[in-house]
Structure 1
């Protein structure tokens, strides 16, 4: 078992307790509320519009070109199909979503979790044949520094809403450098043999859960690891998806 950073973990749990005792104002407008986002600001979060490709990008987005107007794949996925069979994200990784996720991931700001909870509660299970949710893991050193694993938090929150078990089947066996700022090719090299499957997954239909999909390199590597260990199917759900002309 990975060591626990007691200082960081205590900070997270104290944040939970304090937030319940003293609810913060709305994260965006600052008006008094029960914490998180108020009813006026929640609809302002930029949404991903359908139809979407297997990689999670809308077909109408400038970064994709349909190889066939009827086909479910964009041109990029036709050339290099991802190992996962589908992906979905309710939000675009633009302001204010990017700022909220940064606070959630790097500062363990759980008011953000409360802010997005109404959105998640209204999000139906996208694939009803799913057997379990699998968090996309962070390396134990990164989790130790933060005292927080955003993918695991999201997976357990969704598991309650979707009534599906959480199966932490993957571990990150290498402390890979941060993916931020890397090109698609650099990300792929960075993630070679990064994941290891530590639980039986043979025959299971799984949803990988994470906070953000950028180029999809982490999701590809994790999905391939699960499939190599016998998973019947892997889909990906992230809270947000990077759109537009980003570095890849």
Structure 2
């Protein structure tokens, strides 16, 4: 029991050190990535910032609107990936939904929006689809990022696990959540022919996590964690 405890403490210590080093070097890494050496070089990756006006998504305890944080993290991830030589396709680059605005109801706009996001996977010959979201729960206790992957192809699970591992190491060593297979009702991941995941970056219902998610530093950490997971996936 003592040996196991010490081993866990040692692993936890190294995870914290890795996290600190990663945070310090994030901004420098944006400009120092060796393009030709990165596993994602020339890969076509769709980055989907979830929601968009008029659909704001979840609302935090202090009024944080999900769509805004989604876009900020997606933009940071786009920047890192492009510097690493990947071709990035974004589903939205501003506050607005990509749904058909001619629809009369918000429900119809959301349906149109989801279909168009899913269509991005096929239209651009993408190699990967990553959707950025925030989580919310009735209780204020849950915290930590969690990745959900589609049932197909099987590589989606591998991608999800890679991103989950890197998010834990870089953002929150105490986060014991595991990558999880998404419910069949998650339309945006259904019938994908390429690796596809949803990254729930944290809980807006947790006041402390909501506060972190509003900071540029933590958004950069999340983006770097996702990026590192993508690189890890392509290294395999």
TM norm structure 1? 0.28
Q: Which has the higher contact order (CA 8 A, sep 6+)?
A: 2
TM norm structure 2? 0.29
The structure that is helix-richer by fraction is: 2
